Structure 1
Amino acid sequence: LINKSLAEGYFPDRLKTAVVIPVWKNGSKSESKNYRLISRLSIFSKIIEKLIKSQVVKFLEKEEFFSDNQYGFIKGRSTDLAVEEQVCAVTSGLEASRKVGVIYLDLAKAYDMVNIDILLHKMVKIGIRDVELEWFRSYLTGRRQKVKIGECLS
């Protein structure tokens, strides 16, 4: 099934449905902002995602796509390492009597803000085309969610 999916550039619709379980964090239970949404996909979907991620990361590493300044989600480039390197850079600057400025950004719901058409266009620019690009288009579009509260499923 995985090989057929990749060969045809199509991600099966039945694997695109997530079951979302709202888990209360704190505060008023009547406010949606006080819930963390846990999204569950089928185990088969997760296996395919891990295989594809592995292949994409290998491709991007081979193409030297990642910047030395990129951290998180890359093996050996944790966000802890980013903090460590920032502390060293700031300390060195201050010890050399230089002005030091730092800006940190936290993009709330960053993944929810990704424009799929722009992402696919960028994938073409780095060399992902044809059936592989169509597979990603299929994978990223037509997603569905069902909400589960207790034993009730929407």
Structure 2
Amino acid sequence: MKLAEYLDKDLIISDLSARTKPEVLAELVSRLSAKYPDLDPKRVTQVLMDRELLGTTGIGDGIAIPHGKLDSIDQVLVIVGRSHEGVDFASLDHKPASIFFTVLAPSSVVGLHLKLLATVSRLLKDSSFRQAFTNSPGQEGLWQLLQTV
């Protein structure tokens, strides 16, 4: 599976300003709402927060993979964000998260959603990729890096 096939340059935020978990989710969703104005940003953010209540999606090593399912979409959507400061995301290793891959899937899709989450997780386990992600200059640099995966 090529992650690049599910990415959209407009859904990459190279410098998140948010400083808390709810703010990060809202900022990521705001970018989505700008591209898909029919989506209700409060509903999407609530779906992501509800998932966080089940257990953190901050998996450690500076990575968080918030995800959820929505009835209101008909395709998988991925929003990518980077925080230079890092955000307390209640990560499993108790360290701040700085790399965010948000995956939203239609409620009717199961297999693809799980495959995409696994692909993102495998990719981000690679410390050299994480370093390249952290050091890529701006949105364009992240876009170019992500086109290789």
Fold shared, TM-score > 0.5 on shorter chain: no
**Bigger radius of gyration:** 1
